[in-house]
Amino acid sequence: MTPVAIALLQKGLVEQKIRLRIVRAWERRTPTTNTLVEAGFLATDRNGDAIHVQIQPMALDIHKHLIIEGSIYMLSNFRVTMPQITFVAVKSEIMLCETRLQQMVDEERFLADIIGKLLIITEEETIHAHRTDRIHKRRRLRILTLHNQVLDISINDKQLDQLNEEELLETVPRPVIIFAGMVVRKAVNGIQLISCFATRLYINPKTYEAAMVNSIYDDVIGPAQLIPADLF
């Protein structure tokens, strides 16, 4: 079944699929027991249109660990309804009630954003990319994400100009970086992100998310580490 765009969604229980990128995600818990009672996210399609997606209560336990801001997902088994909740993330005549969520990886036509605290950066190296048969310059970084994940990131060629080694190594506490417009690829130990011509890096941005990352990892002290590329 070919995925549709938001503008072509049909209301009701029509069998259809859609590929979306999560822009912002949230959850609501009871104050006394901290029980998860509701979750949802704001997502955009390939045309840039946005829609509110509400996770059905029956699917909360299945999906709560899968929802990652900036990632691409294939949605299916959902209902297209009129907004029937108190707070809706985007002004629209429709919303999705989701029951099945599948994360998409190794999809070069869609780019992901991620934010995290820098742990390690490698020295610059020259590599031969067999996939493109080209010579590249590269640095690799390891970060801690908002979702307590350790993620490896490769910054190549022109995008290296956005990295200031001295600044990254001297900043204490370790810098928080937004990696915007990253290609997602499968790796031996999960996934990794690789820069492309659309990649932009934002070092210690004055945003709520950056403050959250610093708060979560306030026990990660000292400067970031610089290591030889062959030790990464």
Q: What is the pLDDT of residues 128-158, one digit of tens each?
A: 877 778 888 999 999 998 877 889 999 999 8
Do 20 and 38 fall within a single domain?
Answer: yes
Give the CATH number of the domain where residue 90 resides: 2.40.50.140
Q: What is the pLDDT of residues 26-68, one digit of tens each?
A: 877 788 887 777 788 888 888 888 899 888 776 776 666 677 7
CA distance 29 to 39: 9
CA distance 221 to 15: 50
State both tokens at 117.
């605290």
CA distance 123 to 228: 5
The range of the structural domain enclosing residue 188 comes to: 111-231
Q: What is the pLDDT of residues 152-187, one digit of tens each?
A: 999 999 899 999 999 999 999 999 999 988 888 777
Residue 89 placed within a domain: yes
Residue 29 placed within a domain: yes
Residue 76 placed within a domain: yes
DSSP string, 175-219: PEEEEEEEEEEEETTEEEEE--TT-EEEES-SSHHHHHHHHHTTT
pTM for the full predicted model: 0.61
